[in-house]
Structure 1
Amino acid sequence: METGREATEQEEDVTRGDATENEVIDEEALARALALRAHPDAVPELVTGATVAEIVASVEPARAAYRRIAERVGGRE
């Protein structure tokens, strides 16, 4: 079980720049949001990972899945 001091130390470890103690940055969520913004041609549910590297690695398969879906939908017209 964490003590109040340990929790505060962990918060301080993950804050960056001008962030206050209450503005903890979730790097994985930020990386996922940036990846999705940069690649709107990716299936969002497939852009996943527990680390930034895993999220980045998931982008290309998610884009490939999007292309396959788009081809199938486009072929039905």
Structure 2
Amino acid sequence: MHKYEGIKEWPKAKYIVQIMRNDYGCEISDSLAWDSREYAVNAVRGIPEESYGKIPKYLHMLREANPGTHSS
């Protein structure tokens, strides 16, 4: 995960399998590599559904900090 923070292009599952083999000497399946990739992406970028859930709180704080602000 730390190798790809801030990078838009994430590694493919096959590349993760190679990293695990070369750097750590262990074999993992393509599906485990894909799951770990998805976990890392969500950990770095956040889960979209959770971000959308924060909008009402943000709008409330916006109205509290700026009286007279209109939001829906």
Normalized against structure 2, the TM-score is what? 0.34
Q: Which has the higher contact order (CA 8 A, sep 6+)?
A: 2
| TM-score normalised over the length of structure 1 | 0.33
Larger radius of gyration: 2
